[in-house]
Structure 1
Amino acid sequence: MAPTNTQSLKNFDYLVIGGGSGGVASARRAAKYGAKVLLIESNFNKLGGTCVNVGCVPKKVMWYASDMAHKKADLYPYKLDKKEEKVKYGDFEWSQFKIKRDNYVTRLNGIYANNLKKEKVDFIFGFAKFINSNGDVEVTLTGDQNLPFLEPSDKEYKKDEKLIFSGDKILIATGGTAIIPPKIEGSELGITSNGFFELDYQPKDVAIVGAGYIGVELSGVFNGLGSKVDFIIRGDTVLRAFDETIQNTITDYYIDKLGINIIKESGGVVKVTKEGDKKIVTLGNGEILKVDELIWTVGRKSLVDIGLDKVGVKVNDRSQIEANEYQVTSNPKIFSLGDVVGKVELTPVAIAAGRKLSNRLFGGEQYKDDHLDYNNIPSAIFSHPEAGSIGLSTKQAIEKYGKDNIKIYNSKFTAMYYAMMDDDKDKSPTVYRIVCAGPEEKVVGLHLVGDGSAEILQGFGVAVKMGATKKDFDNCVAIHPTSAEELVTMT
């Protein structure tokens, strides 16, 4: 196999395309077993993928800021302040906070790089694409860089230079990216969640489109920091992929207590124009909004434009790579995982799948059947308050087991933290639901809304994954006083 340029072709045991959480995890695990690994990431000096750079990590930092803004008003009822002061627009130094947040992300990028070096994983920044049926990969460099694993080791390779590599086994973990709807007039005047992290100022008025967890989280962040939020949804509730108790609780609280303007049955956005510095957003129901920023949270697309046709890797009708439970694609030497396959688009899922794949490929006979079980994966929504879910929703449980074969346990209360609050508007709800199936009352769904839900769910998720029953929950002695004790005392 002769290269098409002057750079000699170099073969690796494992070629990983994508330096996000899944790709990095799989590459490092493979290297621990002694495999020679090359990881290719297109985003120059930005290892970690969506999660680290424009996703979970900087989002949670912004959530913390917004959560503390809510708690600032709590100082007064707890007699830690002389008067009640709620955060208003202009109180938060957005631009200064962005610098600190970005520095933290840059630090994480460096940690990812150092961890790869420690595991002796070679990595390169460039756009990768397959160039022939053998699976050779051409990489167009996205920045000047030294590549010590190539000869001569002291050469500096320049941006846009093309290099060719091959691998005995290849992993595609290219992830996805947020989309702007192409068929709406003026849609390009809005930004995605990626653009949210590029904002160097706080918009006073913001419109957010899309009822999923990203829209819910960004709406909560902006509202907590004092911005006016118009939250545009097509249905009657947010978070429609989750249990109805989460949908209704968060929707009602956002409207009634937080004052977020959720525009239900909006008909969607039909046109966007610009008037001075303002975006004019026209909705299908005839309503017109005038805002500083418009943010689309209406979905993501997989990044599959890497020459898959050259190697016979199939994609489905949503342009996601088809891979079986062992992450094998239609080409037996090529594997895929993470957001690009679209099964469960969560960072820990990609990490777990990546590690298990490398166990199976390079870890020996003991791991010959290792693969990720995609059932009962916990997920959290960093709304205000937090929400979390594992297993089947009530609707899904009824569809699977029949209405007469499930039992629902519900609890709704106000956490003790809010006992000192004088105004009901300052009291955040806690709502828990346990969905059980069969005569043994196996817990097949657990749905939480309330402070600390993400941390609570991490522990209870272990129990659900192990097949716990309601009796197992009941047999655990409560920790008092906590909100989570309600999960083991519910009748």
Structure 2
Amino acid sequence: MSEFDVDLFVIGGGSGGVRAARISASHGARVMVAEEFRYGGTCVIRGCVPKKLMVLASRFPDDFTDAGGFGWQVEEPRFDWSALIAQKDREIGRLEEIYRNNLQKAGVETLDERAVIAGPHEVHLERSGRTIRARNILVAVGARPVMEPVIPGGELGITSNEVFDLETQPERILIIGGGYIAVEFAGIFAGLGSKVTLLHRGDRLLRGFDDEIRDLLGEAYVKRGIDLLLKTTLERLDRTGDGAIRATFSDGRTIEIDQVLVATGRRPNTEGLGLERVGIEVDQVGAIPVDSYSRTIAPSIFAVGDVTNRANLTPIAIREGHAFADTVFGGKPTLVEHDLIPTAVFSTPEIGVIGMSEAAARAIHGDDVVIFKTSFRPIRATLSGRDERTFMKLVVDGVSDRVLGVHVMGPDAGEMIQMAGVAVTMGATKADFDRTVAVHPTAAEELVTMRTPFVVKKPVAVG
């Protein structure tokens, strides 16, 4: 009889933990998973999936406008917030059930309660009081939004956890932050008809992205009626007599809104997890340090996904979970590359990126960097006259001709970057792009038809 109840105990039923559990079970491991909230994790329950559904809902006004240019007579549309939320909830419930069923079909035992580490091979279940002995423990508890910085009245704000369950659509909303979540929800609420103020302490949105993309997104949001306040911070929030919220900014300006969404960051969910019992010390943001195979300092304990703060994206958590299972139970040591990841920001306009920004490339390759770029009106907007532009940029190493970065902003940018990501990951050169036959008429064809490098004009020395 084995000294262990299971070969693997997974703490957390999100994307990374579920993948690790299923693949480990397929390799013959006995697996348990504990989840204290809902299976599917942040992405399925209160992240990527419900957000994308809301993004799609917010883009229909553009569709209605374009339809008129193509001869369709569209009556005055009316949006129903409660209907969207109800439909979203039904879809999320369906997906959660799929996650549960897939685990059970794989032979994984699922537990609906909080689990914490009790020892190198022990997990304590807080509701039932049971202790499970596991040969290996995988921590896949993800991250949570944080309300930072702490200000007077900060309790009046909500995070990305609560925004999906608002009973009514706010007529006026203040969104604080400049990253993925902030810009995506700014686009959502603006598209659905709310008056949006987007507040960010930096001088541009989306830190780390190419500067031209950052500038163009800011310009596009202003055109869409979003009040964009940069290099500004929030000083305090106060409830007014009529139930509104008064926001006071660092420049002395005040506005009244109905809701405040704080999207200033996320932190790994490591508090109270029992890591100290096995000698694991988290870093300054609360993340669990791991090696290239997701192993912690404790040989029997591993961690994947956002809790490690390596690359906080759902597909990365899934890849890490799969690699863990293949390494530990499949006899196939597998590493996950974290330095070349395609990503999309579901703002409106949408953004898709893989590889280096121009600034990052120049920091390494200097004047050898060659830039190709184009901007044009998408064909869908031509007949309606809607003011929308698509922007594309290729960052190329002029010595090796390798494409170092692809940056797209406009309709379907996320779909395009997925396919461009295959080429860039394979090490495609600009010549490879050039010899690829264009699919016409599409927006994506511009990625393979840009021929003339953009020339950076250098200042002429005087005297």
The question of a shared fold, defined as TM-score above 0.5 by the shorter chain, is answered with yes
Q: Which residue of 1 aligns with 2:125?
A: 139
Q: Which residue of 1 aligns with 2:29?
A: 35
Contact 1:245 1:433 in 2 (8 A): no
Separation in 2, partners of 1:474, 1:304: 48
Letter in structure 2 aligned against 1:273: D
Separation in 2, partners of 1:392, 1:339: 22
Gaps of 5+ in 2: 452-463
Separation in 1, partners of 2:4, 2:167: 43
Separation in 2, partners of 1:174, 1:77: 48
Q: Which residue of 1 aligns with 2:63?
A: 71
- Secondary structure of 1:15's counterpart equals strand
Q: Tell me the CA shift for residue 21 of structure 1.
A: 0.1
Q: After TM superposition, where is structure 1 displaced by more than 2 Å over at least 4 residues in a row? A: none
Tell me, yes or no, if structure 1 residue 447 matches structure 2 residue 407.
yes
Q: Tell me the CA shift for residue 82 of structure 1.
A: 6.3
- Secondary structure of 1:170's counterpart equals strand
Separation in 1, partners of 2:437, 2:302: 45
Q: Which residue of 2 aligns with 1:420?
A: 383
Q: 1:248-271 deviations in whole A, cap 9, x for unaligned?
A: 11110110x2011001221x1110
- Secondary structure of 2:69's counterpart equals coil
Q: Tell me the CA shift for residue 300 of structure 1.
A: 0.4
Q: Which residue of 2 aligns with 1:170?
A: 137
Q: 1:350-397 deviations in whole A, cap 9, x for unaligned?
A: 001110110111112xx13x1111121100001111101111111111
Separation in 2, partners of 1:457, 1:184: 39
Q: Tell me the CA shift for residue 70 of structure 1.
A: 2.1
Letter in structure 2 aligned against 1:392: M
Tell me, yes or no, if structure 1 residue 373 matches structure 2 residue 333.
no
Which residues in structure 2 correspond to 1:166-205 (within 5 Å)?
A: 166-181=133-148, 183-205=150-172
Which residues in structure 2 correspond to 1:217-366 (within 5 Å)?
A: 217-255=184-222, 257-266=223-232, 268-275=233-240, 276-305=242-271, 306-364=273-331
- Secondary structure of 2:289's counterpart equals coil
- Secondary structure of 1:456's counterpart equals helix
Going from structure 1 to structure 2, the CA distance change for 1:96 and 1:82 (only over 3 Å counts) comes to closer
Contact 1:203 1:293 in 2 (8 A): yes
Contact 1:337 1:350 in 2 (8 A): yes
- Secondary structure of 1:399's counterpart equals helix
Q: Which residue of 2 aligns with 1:129?
A: 116
- Secondary structure of 1:433's counterpart equals strand
Q: Which residue of 2 aligns with 1:95?
A: 82
- Secondary structure of 1:254's counterpart equals helix
Contact 2:121 2:136 in 1 (8 A): no
- Secondary structure of 1:343's counterpart equals coil
Q: 1:135-187 deviations in whole A, cap 9, x for unaligned?
A: 3111123xxxxxxxxxxxxxxxxxxx321112111111110011112521111
Separation in 2, partners of 1:52, 1:286: 40
Q: Which residue of 1 aligns with 2:454?
A: none
Going from structure 1 to structure 2, the CA distance change for 1:82 and 1:391 (only over 3 Å counts) comes to closer
Letter in structure 1 aligned against 2:315: P
Contact 2:66 2:380 in 1 (8 A): no
Separation in 1, partners of 2:327, 2:116: 25
Letter in structure 1 aligned against 2:181: I
Gaps of 5+ in 1: 1-8, 142-160
Q: 1:296-327 deviations in whole A, cap 9, x for unaligned?
A: 00000110120101011231122111011111
Letter in structure 2 aligned against 1:135: H
Separation in 2, partners of 1:122, 1:186: 44
Contact 2:12 2:141 in 1 (8 A): yes
Q: Which residue of 2 aligns with 1:14?
A: 8
Q: 1:168-221 deviations in whole A, cap 9, x for unaligned?
A: 111111100111125211111000011111101110000000011111110101
Contact 1:10 1:164 in 2 (8 A): no
Task: Compute the TM-score of the two structures, normalised by the length of structure 1.
Answer: 0.89
Separation in 2, partners of 1:447, 1:332: 40
- Secondary structure of 1:197's counterpart equals helix
Q: 1:113-141 deviations in whole A, cap 9, x for unaligned?
A: 00001000111011111223x33111123
Task: Give the percent of matched residue pairs that are identical in Structure 1 and Structure 2.
Answer: 38
Which residues in structure 2 correspond to 1:41-60 (within 5 Å)?
A: 41-43=35-37, 46-60=38-52
Cα RMSD over matched residues? 1.3
Q: Tell me the CA shift for residue 438 of structure 1.
A: 4.4
Q: Tell me the CA shift for residue 398 of structure 1.
A: 1.4
- Secondary structure of 2:208's counterpart equals coil
Residues matched between the structures, number: 447
Q: Which residue of 2 aligns with 1:148?
A: none
Going from structure 1 to structure 2, the CA distance change for 1:10 and 1:94 (only over 3 Å counts) comes to farther
- Secondary structure of 1:131's counterpart equals strand
Task: Compute the TM-score of the two structures, normalised by the length of structure 2.
Answer: 0.94
